[in-house]
Chains A and B, each alone.
Chain A
Amino acid sequence: MNLRDLEVMPETTLQVSPRLVEDAVFDQVVLAGDSFVHTIDRGQFVRIVDLQGNQAVDTLFYNAHNYADRYSAQDTIRAQANVYLTTGTKLISTLRHVLLTIVADTCGRHDTLGGACSAESNMVRYDIAKRSMHACRQSFLKGALHWSATTGHELNKFDLTANVNFFMNVPVMPTGQLSFEDGVSDAGKYVELRAEMDTLMIISNCPQLNNPCNAYNPTPVRILIWDAPVS
């Protein structure tokens, strides 16, 4: 799919998926504080389920055949002229390819401006003494380095860029003010994406203990994958 085919996204709506859990070809729970790296083939569907509610799922996407071509937050929000991600959002890469499309969303909106927590940003945001607390970018690096070591495809800190925060609610006001609000998600809510290209997905299931938006309680999420329908 090409960027030229894009239209301005429709108004935010909740969209349920027709796919049944029993038909999934992949089903795994990712605990809070863990990373998860997996390739989603073109045409496959991936669902992320917020099992207990208001969990932030920090996620990066790459063209599986060229990691330099990766998810771009700015290109994604500009293409739809809206800063929130929901059903209909096309996730655009730095080289302007459509990596995936959000095809179902029972949460309503997701953030892509707040980034992923890190040991270093926690020092700035909360307290210099917070450096040793677990953080998303520790998980991203662990997942990336492990993937690199096991597949031989180089993936490291240079590849960590602005991510999607599924289930996170980060409103931007007309004044420019940006805040972290309590989540709009709830137990069992999910988001589902269709891969438009072979896509590598890296998830950090956020371990943040300093932010009230997850009630200071990071929880597990579930990843389901379906094959492309046989036509």
Chain B
Amino acid sequence: MNESILWQETLPGSSTWSHILKRGTALRLTAIDDAPNVGALLLNADNLSERLSLPDSLKAQHTARLTTGVALYSDMGRILCSITDDTVGWHDPLGGCSDEVLVTKKYGLDTYQQSRNAWHQNGLDGFLIELAKYGLGARDLMMNINFFSKVKILEDGSMHFVPGNAVGGGAVEIRAEMNTLVILNSCQHPMDPTNDYAQKRVGLTLKQVPVPGPEDVCRTFSPENTRGFIITERYFL
């Protein structure tokens, strides 16, 4: 089966989006504007108690840098999605998401009444609202990914946001290895030092993709991932 595009849409800035990404399909995120940020939560759509575990993912692959080849593991040792292509080079698993206090302190209060859809929103509320649509809540929050952002860790453990990690045209693609509830939020990264509240757009492309073969870049990334794919494939037997 070759790749075929199912549909495309634009995710505006400070927006939340969700979709159950079916096994055998992929989601490609393409920066339309420079320096976007897309927070992401992943859950097994067939059993919502199983969700993305970034600690398990980082530990199994000995990396805190998300890029091509990296698998995004659930807390059950299975791969929800894997990163099959990345022209950006680094996506952040550490910074988390913004909240109302942080956004108000950094950018000031701006209400919907005042500014309509340009109002100041935050990542935490976006995630909580979208989780609620699936009967989920604060108990179901997990460490989130920040696609397109980079936080560098120095030897002393200090965390430093790297501006300009992604520019317009940069893209990252995740392939669903399981039916995955994907929740996205495009609010600014909580460590982004810019003082301007900016709404950066990202293009979303949903497509059908081939089943990962023996030489797949994610399967062969490490012996851990080879086992992770076997365990995931057994789930569907």
Contact = CB atoms under 8 A, between A and B. Distances in A.
B59 A115 contact: yes
Given A81-B159, A115-B55, A118-B56, A159 B139 contact: yes
B69 to A, nearest CB: 13
A123 B231 contact: yes
Contacts of B160: 81
A78 B227 contact: no
A114 B77 contact: no
B158 A81 contact: yes
A160 B73 CA distance: 15
Interface in B44-66: 49, 53-56, 58-60, 62-65
Contacts of A157: 49
B154 A120 contact: no
B56 A4 contact: no
B64 A172 contact: yes
Given A81-B158, A123-B227, A124-B73, A114 B58 contact: yes
Interface residues of A, number: 51
Nearest to B100: A96
Q: Interface extent on B, as a size class?
A: 35 or more
Contact of A83 (B76, B94, B224): B94
Interface string A121-159: 101110110000000010000000000000000000111
Nearest to A161: B142
Interface string A73-95: 11101100111100000000011
B144 interface: yes
A231 interface: no
Contacts of B96: 72, 74-75, 78
Contact of A121 (B49, B60, B152): B60
Given A78-B95, A125-B224, A120 B76 contact: yes
A173 interface: yes
Contacts of A14: none
Contact of A78 (B58, B154, B190): B190
B42 to A, nearest CB: 14
B191 A162 contact: no
A109 interface: yes
A180 B60 CA distance: 11
A172 B96 CA distance: 17
B68 to A, nearest CB: 13
A174 B152 CA distance: 6
Contact of B224 (A124, A137, A175): A124
A113 interface: yes
A82 B156 contact: yes
A121 B59 contact: yes
A176 B53 CA distance: 17
A80 to B, nearest CB: 9
Closest 8 A-B residue pairs measured CB to CB? A115-B55, A176-B65, A120-B77, A74-B96, A84-B157, A68-B138, A172-B153, A68-B139
16 contacts: A81-B159, A83-B94, A83-B153, A113-B58, A115-B55, A115-B56, A120-B231, A124-B56, A124-B60, A158-B140, A159-B139, A161-B142, A172-B153, A175-B65, A176-B64, A177-B63
Given A113-B64, A121-B60, A124-B56, 15 more contacts: A11-B156, A74-B94, A74-B143, A77-B159, A113-B55, A113-B58, A113-B59, A115-B53, A118-B77, A119-B77, A120-B78, A161-B142, A172-B64, A173-B155, A174-B152
Interface of A: 3-4, 11-12, 67-69, 72-75, 77-78, 81-84, 94-96, 109, 113-116, 118-121, 123-125, 127-128, 137, 157-163, 172-180
